[in-house]
């Protein structure tokens, strides 16, 4: 009933997100040899766990689980700034269609600090467009590589010094009820090589400065 994939950064989920000739839905459909239905969305620049369903009914049921908040979503983001150790952001987000802002809530936990930068874990409780990115901007801690809500000077620094050319946001895991058994099911995605390499370089630089 489910197909889980490890989406790379830069790949759109479906044609509605971009005019690229290739998108995740098409690639997954070709690999499994059947039509697949997107269950949730990841920004084009975000990597990590992405779910598809093999039937419209399964997609509808899973979509309702995401909407109701019964699916736990975890992300890692590398940000500029000094976020709190833990913080719950309840900040409504405006909509592009001009309708009133929608309530949006994200829990953040700082995992590591690298001088002017930090690695944070994000648990969004709602699913608004660009929610994590916009809530981190609200905290004055924009994500590295975010060309829309971030800081160009820091994005350029990471491209130049770390060859890091992507949005530093990764969907690490999804926890939901197994559609067949009802048992808890956690699907994880390891940190991509370029993301892990960049964190290692920041750790090494900080250790060198501290010594």
Catalytic residues: 43
> What whole-number distance in Å separates Cα of residue 48 and Cα of residue 169?
9
> For residue 82, how far is the Cα from the chain centroid?
20
Query: Could you write out the three-class secondary structure of 23-87?
Result: CHHHHHHHHHCCCCEECCCCCCCCEEEEEEECCHHHHHHHHHHHHHCCCEEEEEEEEECCCCCEE
184 forms bridges with which residues in the sheet?
177
Q: Is 173 exposed, middle or buried (0-12, 13-18, 19+ CB in 10 A)?
A: middle
Query: Residues 189, 4, 71, 106: what is their CA dihedral angle, to the nearest 10 degrees?
Result: 50
Given a contact cutoff of 8 angstroms between Cβ atoms, the answer to whether 14 and 37 are in contact is no
- Among 159, 171, 166, 162, which residue's Cα sits nearest to residue 199? 162
Which structure tokens are listed for 70? 């019964």
Kindly report the backbone phi and psi dihedral angles of residue 200, in degrees, each rounded to the nearest multiple of 5, phi listed first.
-65, -40
């Amino acid at each position: 009933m489910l197909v889980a994939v490890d989406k790379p950064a830069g790949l759109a989920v479906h044609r509605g997100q971009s005019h690229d000739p290739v998108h995740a839905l098409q690639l997954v459909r070709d690999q499994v040899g059947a039509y697949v239905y997107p269950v949730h969305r990841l920004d084009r620049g975000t990597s990590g766990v992405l779910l598809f369903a093999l039937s419209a009914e399964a997609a509808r049921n899973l979509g309702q689980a995401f909407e109701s908040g019964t699916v736990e979503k975890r992300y890692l983001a590398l940000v500029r700034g000094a976020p709190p150790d833990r913080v719950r952001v309840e900040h409504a987000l405006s909509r592009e269609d001009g309708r009133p802002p929608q309530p949006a809530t994200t829990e953040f936990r700082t995992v590591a600090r690298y001088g002017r930068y930090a690695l944070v874990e994000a648990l969004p409780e709602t699913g608004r467009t660009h929610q994590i990115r916009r809530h981190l901007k609200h905290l004055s801690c924009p994500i590295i590589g975010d060309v829309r809500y971030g800081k160009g000077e820091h994005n350029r620094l990471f491209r130049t010094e770390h060859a890091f050319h992507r949005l530093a946001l990764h969907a690490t895991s999804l926890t939901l009820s197994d559609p067949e058994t009802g048992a808890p099911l956690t699907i994880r995605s390891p940190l991509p090589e370029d993301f892990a390499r960049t964190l290692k370089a920041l750790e090494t630089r900080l250790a060198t400065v501290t010594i």
